[in-house]
Chain A
Amino acid sequence: MNRGTKSAIALTILLIAVTAAILSTVWGSDAAIPLKQHITLQIQLPLVITAILVGAALASSGATLQVVLRNPLADPGIVGITSGASLVAAILLLVTPSWASEYFHYLLPLGCFIGALASTLLLYAMARRLLGSSTAVILCGVAISTLSGAIISWLYMFSDANALRNLTFWLMGSLYQTNWPILMVGAPLIITALGLQSYFAGDLNKLYGGDIAAKNSGVNVEKLTERCLLVCAVAVGAAVSMAGSIAFVGLLIPHILRLVIGHNNRFIVPLSALAGACLLLIVALSSELTRAITLPVSMITATLGGPLLIWALYKGQVRG
């Protein structure tokens, strides 16, 4: 049995264990049965599903983006895809008229997808012009994030207190913002995207040797790049519509996995999804256990991811 299979089994067990732990936090108490059922169905199940889907989408997209953009530090947040999506989410939160709020759970994923796609296209166009320089991709991401951040700051000035609280939660990421309707729209999108990312993973292996090597071995590089970016935009857009912008999951997970099981994307991409789901479930569990405060997710992931990014830069994993 190789390391990939072993890791897959270990992660699956972890996933089930953490899910069980979250669900058991309610059933261990002595509240009335109907109340317990209500909490499980309306709060905890959506929480668990959101954590699994969002973690899987972000980590798997991160792994895909890193290879497609030839940059081990690419992450949906760092390259600006998340910020494009959250910009549109912020606009929708603030300006959706009351008559349209009924359709908000459709509008939100769609809007986030459009935002994610727009920033992906901008990134792709800029990265193609600056081809060969992997730091350029990161700089493009910084530019896109800065711009989105600036627009969101302007939006703050025109919003009331209630919308402001919503917005802040959104920008810091939260696993408690979803409800069943949003999950119903987002889940099929993410599951399809995850399937496609794993399907493309074999061809991604051929990109390690550069464009000519990949084409020589039968991969249509342009087509693959465009398809992967599109699929990542769908996955990240849907993830943002569920939980706001969550930083570093897409960087952290594939990075650690590569150290453990090597660079074969056939393993890295699906296992990233699994490990990403586990990570966010653990975050969810920790905020279930510390009932007093609901922790903003990005606070935890950035605490873990920030030092890793500095370490990776220090080790010279990105060249100019």
Chain B
Amino acid sequence: MAKGAEASIISLRQVALKNRFTIDNVDVAKGQCIHILGPNGAGKSSLLLVMAGLLEPDSGQVSLYERPMSSWSLATLAGVRTMLGQHSLSSFHLTVGEYLSFYAQPVIAKGSSTPHLCSQPIPPLIEKALEVTSFLPKVLTHLSGGERQRVEICRTLLQIWPLLEKGEGLVLLDEPLQGLDIRHQYALANLVNVLCKKGNTVVMSSHDISLSANYSNTLWLMHKGALVVQGLPENVATKHYLESVFECHFAISKHDNFLEIQVCAPISLE
């Protein structure tokens, strides 16, 4: 990209989805690591779906790589961006290796004729954070919720892995931390940071304010379908904004480069 870090990857202009969200003007630039925070029903999931081109807004203009979203076909989109949705249950007893191989054709197809991924290693960068290799021969439906989530994140990343390795990928994750244990939450947040440093762009929603404030380079704060504020974590994760959006008392302090955010108690609604 000639324009370097300033190139706008996604832009939304006066985009609205009925009963979900209204966004006036927002851009996602290459290499950004954006975490979206907001209470339940703030419109985070719908916004991510619209940005992924999986949901059409009622009005407004969504552009991906400066081309209107409606001009992209699903098949072309599949090669340039990837999105993790909130999980769905499968009742088929297929193995994790097989499951991943169905979505990761570009990586797997080379040289190997077997439909199973077991022979092909998971890229080390993904493996280090998600630790899914030991699940490959296991049956998908026998995994626990958190293990399943790790497999889903792995599936999502494998879909455009060649692009992510080159640092040209776009990843949208809807609550990827859901169900993960503490260690894997931080490992994932770290993986996302590593990917962004390579030049990839990641937008993810989260409910962990403290983690998001320290592992993102941009925070979006959403409330009742509106983007309240966006910017650097230390400018967004302030007592004023957090208390008005989450209706809780917060205690925020900064040590070195670490933002310590504590939730004290809900502001009473009496």
Contact = CB atoms under 8 A, between A and B. Distances in A.
Contacts of A72: 91-93
A206 B101 CA distance: 10
Interface residues of B, number: 36
Contacts of B102: 205-206, 208-209, 264
Interface in B171-209: none
Contacts of B2: none
B116 A262 contact: yes
Contacts, number: 91
Interface in A194-236: 205-206, 208-213, 215-220
B98 A263 contact: yes
B78 A210 contact: no
A317 B93 contact: yes
Interface string B70-101: 00011111110011011111111111001101
A209 B159 contact: no
Nearest to A73: B91
Nearest to B97: A262
Given A2-B113, A218-B74, A263-B98, A213 B155 contact: yes
A263 B140 CA distance: 12
A208 B74 contact: no
A120 to B, nearest CB: 21
Contact of A212 (B54, B98, B99, B159): B54
Contact of B103 (A70, A209, A212, A319): A209
Given A216-B54, A216-B156, A218-B75, A134 B91 contact: yes
Contacts of A219: 74
A267 interface: yes
B88 A218 contact: no
A317 to B, nearest CB: 6
Interface in B123-175: 152, 155-156, 159
Contacts of B86: 212
Given A216-B82, A262-B94, A263-B92, A209 B99 contact: yes
B85 A208 contact: no
A71 interface: yes
A149 interface: no
Nearest to B87: A210
Contacts of B69: none
8 contacts: A70-B90, A209-B102, A209-B155, A211-B85, A216-B52, A218-B77, A262-B98, A263-B92
Given A208-B102, A213-B152, A266-B115, 11 more contacts: A206-B102, A209-B88, A209-B152, A209-B155, A212-B49, A213-B103, A213-B155, A215-B74, A218-B76, A218-B79, A263-B92
